[in-house]
Structure 1
Amino acid sequence: MKKVLIISEKNEARSQMAEKWLSYYGRKHLEVYSAGVSKGTISVLAQKAMAEAVMDIPEYRSKRLSDLKIDCFDYVLCFDKDFSKKLPEFKGKPEIKIFDVPNPANVKGEEKVKLQAYYVVCNVIDDACFVFVQERFQIVS
């Protein structure tokens, strides 16, 4: 099994979504972890968007990178292009993949508008995770 880390600044939404999607698509090939440089609070809107996609994450908790008991990964994924410029150094030579996915927390407006942004991000991350696993493990032939 290959080990993959999804890293973010606070581990509140996009990285949590990606952890669930990668765990689903890569279940026979990947051990998936997500963590932030600092610890935040899981976004309720991220949970709602994932539940709508039938991928519940209510049991997920925000974690710091220093909380993980593993420090060597085959892959490191980041879904925040701005944060990717501040990535820490990693042991070994993991393949690092950066995705430019907007932060839905930055959307202003009523909850319905904000939730729509989380739905969009959920779908973008779903697609990115599927392609990532497909390209490496050909899960669909």
Structure 2
Amino acid sequence: MKKIYFIANDDSSRSQIAKGFAQKDLPSDWEVHSAGIEKGSVNPRAVAVMAENGIDIYQTDTAFIDINYYKNCDIIVTLCGEAQDNLPDVKTRATIINWDIPNPVRCERNDAERILMMRLISQKIATKVQKLANKLVKTAI
């Protein structure tokens, strides 16, 4: 089974969203996980926006980076510079891909803007995941 890891700051929004879309878009022979360099809790706005997309991340737990999974991944996708800069200092066989996705939590002003930002970020992530999934299927990593 092939493995992909989505890593962000605290596994509360971006990495959870990416994992949700990847589980939908990648073939069943891909194992998909997400993690954070810190552990947070799933953002309720991320849950709501993913539900709008027909993807349930409500029951998802957040996680720290699992070193064994990290070492044995085929693909690691960091969703922000902080995650990229703080990856574990261990050898991995993975191809590392860096996406600079703004943190929707840091873009908050009022409730309407918060949910709008989460929608915009989720669509940006959805597009990137779909392109990556198409590439992985074509190249059969």
TM-score by length of 1: 0.89
| Alignment partner, residue 126 of structure 2 | 126
Alpha carbons of structure 1 residues 9 and 108: separation in structure 2 relative to 1, 3 Å:
closer
| Alignment partner, residue 91 of structure 2 | 91
Matches within 5 A, 1:35-74: 35-66=35-66, 70-71=69-70, 72-74=72-74
Percent of residue pairs identical = 22
Alpha carbons of structure 1 residues 90 and 23: separation in structure 2 relative to 1, 3 Å:
farther
Please tell me whether the aligned partners of residues 79 and 100 of structure 1 are also in contact (alpha carbons under 8 angstroms): yes
Tell me the C-alpha RMSD between the 2 structures.
1.8
Unaligned runs of 5+ in 1: none
Moved over 6 A (4+): none
Structure 1 residue matching 2:12: 3-state secondary structure: coil
Aligned positions, number: 138
2 CA distance for matches of 1:23 and 1:90? 26
Deviations 1:85-105 (A, max 9, x none): 222234332100011111100
Q: Which amino acid aligns with 2:63?
A: K
Deviations 1:54-96 (A, max 9, x none): 1121011111114x76341011001113431222234332100
2 CA distance for matches of 1:99 and 1:114? 21
2 CA distance for matches of 1:73 and 1:136? 14
Tell me which protein shows more helix as a share of its residues.
2
TM-score by length of 2: 0.89
Deviations 1:26-57 (A, max 9, x none): 13331001111221011001111111111121
Q: Which amino acid aligns with 1:19?
A: K
1 CA distance for matches of 2:75 and 2:89? 13
